[in-house]
Amino acid sequence: MSVNVYLTFNGNCQEAAEFYAKVFRTEPPQFMRYGDTPPDPNFTMPEEAKNLIMHTRLVIDGSSVMFSDVFPGMPYVEGTNISLAIVNKDLEGIHSYFEQLKEGGTVRMELQETFWSKCYGSVVDRFGIEWQFNYEE
Protein backbone atom coordinates (compact mmCIF):
# COMPACT_ATOMS: atom_id res chain seq x y z
CA MET A 1 0.00 0.00 0.00
CA SER A 2 1.11 3.53 -0.61
CA VAL A 3 -0.25 7.02 -0.06
CA ASN A 4 0.56 9.32 -2.95
CA VAL A 5 0.24 13.06 -3.33
CA TYR A 6 -2.10 14.08 -6.19
CA LEU A 7 -1.78 17.63 -7.53
CA THR A 8 -4.48 19.20 -9.67
CA PHE A 9 -3.97 22.04 -12.14
CA ASN A 10 -6.22 24.37 -14.12
CA GLY A 11 -5.11 23.66 -17.69
CA ASN A 12 -1.36 23.89 -17.12
CA CYS A 13 -0.64 20.38 -15.83
CA GLN A 14 1.66 19.45 -18.70
CA GLU A 15 3.74 22.58 -18.18
CA ALA A 16 3.94 21.94 -14.41
CA ALA A 17 4.84 18.23 -14.73
CA GLU A 18 7.55 18.97 -17.31
CA PHE A 19 8.92 21.74 -15.06
CA TYR A 20 9.01 19.45 -11.99
CA ALA A 21 10.62 16.65 -14.03
CA LYS A 22 13.40 19.07 -15.01
CA VAL A 23 13.84 20.46 -11.50
CA PHE A 24 14.01 17.02 -9.86
CA ARG A 25 15.84 15.35 -12.78
CA THR A 26 13.27 12.60 -13.27
CA GLU A 27 12.24 10.66 -16.35
CA PRO A 28 10.07 12.79 -18.68
CA PRO A 29 6.39 12.35 -17.82
CA GLN A 30 4.05 10.22 -19.91
CA PHE A 31 0.68 11.95 -20.38
CA MET A 32 -2.81 10.46 -20.57
CA ARG A 33 -5.22 13.06 -21.92
CA TYR A 34 -8.97 13.16 -21.36
CA GLY A 35 -9.31 12.73 -25.12
CA ASP A 36 -7.41 9.41 -24.91
CA THR A 37 -10.14 7.76 -22.84
CA PRO A 38 -12.41 5.13 -24.39
CA PRO A 39 -15.56 6.67 -25.87
CA ASP A 40 -18.70 6.55 -23.73
CA PRO A 41 -22.03 6.54 -25.60
CA ASN A 42 -23.65 8.25 -22.57
CA PHE A 43 -21.19 11.16 -22.52
CA THR A 44 -19.85 13.47 -25.20
CA MET A 45 -16.34 14.68 -24.41
CA PRO A 46 -16.25 18.49 -24.57
CA GLU A 47 -13.75 19.71 -27.16
CA GLU A 48 -11.97 21.90 -24.57
CA ALA A 49 -11.27 18.81 -22.41
CA LYS A 50 -9.68 16.57 -25.03
CA ASN A 51 -6.12 17.93 -24.79
CA LEU A 52 -6.11 18.43 -21.01
CA ILE A 53 -4.10 16.01 -18.87
CA MET A 54 -6.16 13.31 -17.16
CA HIS A 55 -3.16 11.71 -15.46
CA THR A 56 0.61 11.70 -15.27
CA ARG A 57 3.09 10.71 -12.60
CA LEU A 58 6.64 11.51 -11.55
CA VAL A 59 8.85 9.74 -9.05
CA ILE A 60 10.47 12.51 -7.03
CA ASP A 61 13.13 11.39 -4.56
CA GLY A 62 11.50 7.96 -4.34
CA SER A 63 7.94 9.23 -3.86
CA SER A 64 5.20 8.97 -6.46
CA VAL A 65 3.59 12.33 -7.21
CA MET A 66 0.57 12.30 -9.53
CA PHE A 67 -0.86 15.19 -11.55
CA SER A 68 -3.95 16.08 -13.59
CA ASP A 69 -5.89 19.03 -14.95
CA VAL A 70 -9.37 19.63 -13.56
CA PHE A 71 -12.10 18.66 -15.98
CA PRO A 72 -13.82 21.73 -17.52
CA GLY A 73 -16.63 22.94 -15.26
CA MET A 74 -15.20 21.31 -12.11
CA PRO A 75 -14.17 23.57 -9.22
CA TYR A 76 -10.55 24.61 -8.92
CA VAL A 77 -9.10 26.59 -6.03
CA GLU A 78 -5.37 27.26 -6.10
CA GLY A 79 -3.81 26.25 -2.81
CA THR A 80 -6.32 23.48 -2.15
CA ASN A 81 -5.58 21.60 -5.36
CA ILE A 82 -4.10 18.57 -3.61
CA SER A 83 -5.47 15.19 -2.59
CA LEU A 84 -4.09 11.99 -1.14
CA ALA A 85 -4.30 8.84 -3.23
CA ILE A 86 -4.43 5.40 -1.63
CA VAL A 87 -3.08 2.82 -4.07
CA ASN A 88 -3.75 -0.64 -2.67
CA LYS A 89 -4.04 -4.31 -3.62
CA ASP A 90 -6.53 -4.96 -0.79
CA LEU A 91 -10.11 -4.40 -2.04
CA GLU A 92 -11.55 -4.99 1.42
CA GLY A 93 -9.22 -2.37 2.86
CA ILE A 94 -10.16 0.14 0.16
CA HIS A 95 -13.86 -0.36 0.89
CA SER A 96 -13.30 -0.06 4.65
CA TYR A 97 -11.29 3.17 4.38
CA PHE A 98 -13.78 4.67 1.92
CA GLU A 99 -16.84 3.86 4.05
CA GLN A 100 -15.27 5.37 7.17
CA LEU A 101 -13.99 8.51 5.47
CA LYS A 102 -17.32 9.26 3.80
CA GLU A 103 -19.10 9.50 7.20
CA GLY A 104 -19.75 13.23 7.55
CA GLY A 105 -17.93 13.85 4.27
CA THR A 106 -18.87 14.19 0.61
CA VAL A 107 -18.52 11.43 -1.97
CA ARG A 108 -17.13 12.78 -5.23
CA MET A 109 -17.24 9.38 -6.96
CA GLU A 110 -18.54 6.16 -5.45
CA LEU A 111 -16.19 3.18 -5.57
CA GLN A 112 -16.65 1.62 -8.99
CA GLU A 113 -14.89 -0.09 -11.86
CA THR A 114 -13.26 2.24 -14.37
CA PHE A 115 -11.31 1.59 -17.54
CA TRP A 116 -8.05 1.90 -15.57
CA SER A 117 -8.97 0.12 -12.34
CA LYS A 118 -11.19 -2.61 -10.95
CA CYS A 119 -12.08 -0.19 -8.14
CA TYR A 120 -11.70 3.60 -7.98
CA GLY A 121 -13.48 6.28 -5.94
CA SER A 122 -13.02 9.67 -4.34
CA VAL A 123 -14.31 11.23 -1.14
CA VAL A 124 -13.76 14.50 0.73
CA ASP A 125 -13.69 13.71 4.44
CA ARG A 126 -15.35 15.78 7.18
CA PHE A 127 -12.11 17.76 7.59
CA GLY A 128 -12.03 18.83 3.92
CA ILE A 129 -9.28 16.43 2.80
CA GLU A 130 -9.85 14.68 -0.52
CA TRP A 131 -8.95 10.99 -0.69
CA GLN A 132 -8.74 9.00 -3.91
CA PHE A 133 -8.75 5.21 -3.82
CA ASN A 134 -7.35 3.08 -6.57
CA TYR A 135 -7.09 -0.71 -6.64
CA GLU A 136 -3.83 -1.87 -8.12
CA GLU A 137 -3.40 -5.50 -9.10
pTM: 0.73
Q: For 61-112, write each residue's pLDDT tens digit.
A: 788 999 999 999 888 887 778 888 888 899 999 999 999 899 999 999 999 9
State residue 107 phi and psi, 5-degree precision.
-80, 125
My answer on whether 64 and 89 are in the same domain is: no
Domain of residue 117, residue span: 84-135
Same domain, 53 and 104: no
Domain count, the chain: 2
